[in-house]
Amino acid sequence: MPAVVTYDPIAKSSDCAARRGRLHTPHGTVELPCFMPVGTQATVKGLTVPMVRETGAEILLGNTYHLAVRPGTDLIARLGGLHTFMGWDRPILTDSGGFQIFSLGQNAEISEEGAVFRSHVDGRKIELTPERAMQAQAELGSDIAMVLDHVVALPNPPEIVRAACERSIRWAERCRAVAGDQTQFAIVQGGLDAEMRLWSAEELTQLDFPGYAIGGLSVGESPEEMYRILQVTCPVLPERCPRYLMGVGRPQDILESVRLGVDMFDCVMPTRNARNALAFTDEGPIRLRNACHREDPRPVDAQTPSAASGVSRSYLRHLFAAGEMLGPILTTSHNLAYYQCLMREIRDAIEADTFMELYNAKMRGWQQGPANG
């Protein structure tokens, strides 16, 4: 099976930078723009693989750090790779562990060689270098492997952002040197410094990666600051390559980012919020624990087919109030289906060259919010 991943452009909006394309991978084609549910530990929390498929998801994200800690990427390799291990036969993208270096904060020691930190499971020392990050992802057998990058919180002093950005370029070169036949995406860094972002993008473009991610955002900055960086960065990334905004996000962030030229997204927001009784809809989020839903016979969202379609808001509220696991399961199914429906609408609108009409209608609905939340 060839490991190459290729991008085919299909259509562009005449009113903005929104793009419609296809990503061809060893495990199938992904329609772009797309949203990738997060399967941190080889599972999308609360759902079986058939349930994930039913939401319309075509590609998942796996977490290299967590899988390396438990059960071990070498064990997964012996059992046939991540696709076989979790029973998912569609494409998988794996992150490199760079965000975990960031999230571990003071517990990680970072040098030019890589990062050293303690496992959150058993306290053993773990060394993550660019070479080890690529080896682990090769053992997982993902369709797309992300290079190791150095993520820092925002805001941060310019010298810290610059040092992390420059290190990320050097680490990307080291990842590229050990790529093998697995497709790698590079990650543009540079914080909120537009010039640093442009420099990072230009340096990585020279290394000729088949795809480019925009990282280091959604880590403390405002949405407006994120959009400003996207507006600067997307136009200098190659038209022939997919663009992936890491860790984003809210439906309105996705729509705005598509308008600016982004093709791929991932975020824990739809699943994490579902476990806390929040459901996404075109009229804004619905908080299912609220008393106003106690006798509400309506489905959570009549426009989004999902495992939750056949039950009422009253029933969902009851499940959460009773602490029943079915509440988070059904709401997770709904939220992921809602995100996939949104992506389908976006793709159809770009092809019909009506994206800005969809954009304005969705934004109005989300800003207005539900009458009873």
pLDDT in tens, 58-111: 999 999 999 999 999 999 999 999 999 999 999 999 999 888 777 766 678 899
How do beta strands 6-12 and 19-25 pair?
antiparallel
pLDDT in tens, 328-366: 999 999 999 999 999 999 999 999 999 999 999 999 999
Beta strand extents in the chain (DSSP E only)? 6-12, 19-25, 28-32, 34-36, 38-39, 60-63, 92-95, 108-110, 115-118, 125-128, 144-146, 183-188, 212-214, 243-245, 264-266, 278-279, 286-287
* Active site members: 95, 266
Lowest mean pLDDT among 32-36, 188-192, 305-309, 365-369: 365-369
Domain spans of the chain, in order of start: 6-267, 274-368
How confident is residue 1, by pLDDT bands cut at 50, 70 and 90? very low
Q: How far apart are CA 230 and CA 340, in angstroms?
A: 22
Lowest mean pLDDT among 156-165, 203-212, 256-265: 156-165
Predicted local confidence at residue 219, as pLDDT? 85
The torsion region of residue 179 among left (phi > 0), alpha (psi -120 to 50) and beta comes to alpha
How confident is residue 7, by pLDDT bands cut at 50, 70 and 90? very high
Residue 265's SS3 state is: strand
pLDDT > 90? residue 296: yes
pLDDT in tens, 184-240: 999 999 999 999 999 999 999 999 999 999 999 988 899 999 999 999 999 999 999
Calculate mean pLDDT across residues 174-184.
95
Predicted local confidence at residue 105, as pLDDT? 64
The architecture in CATH of the region 6-267 reads Alpha-Beta Barrel (3.20)
Lowest mean pLDDT among 101-105, 122-126, 136-140, 229-233: 101-105
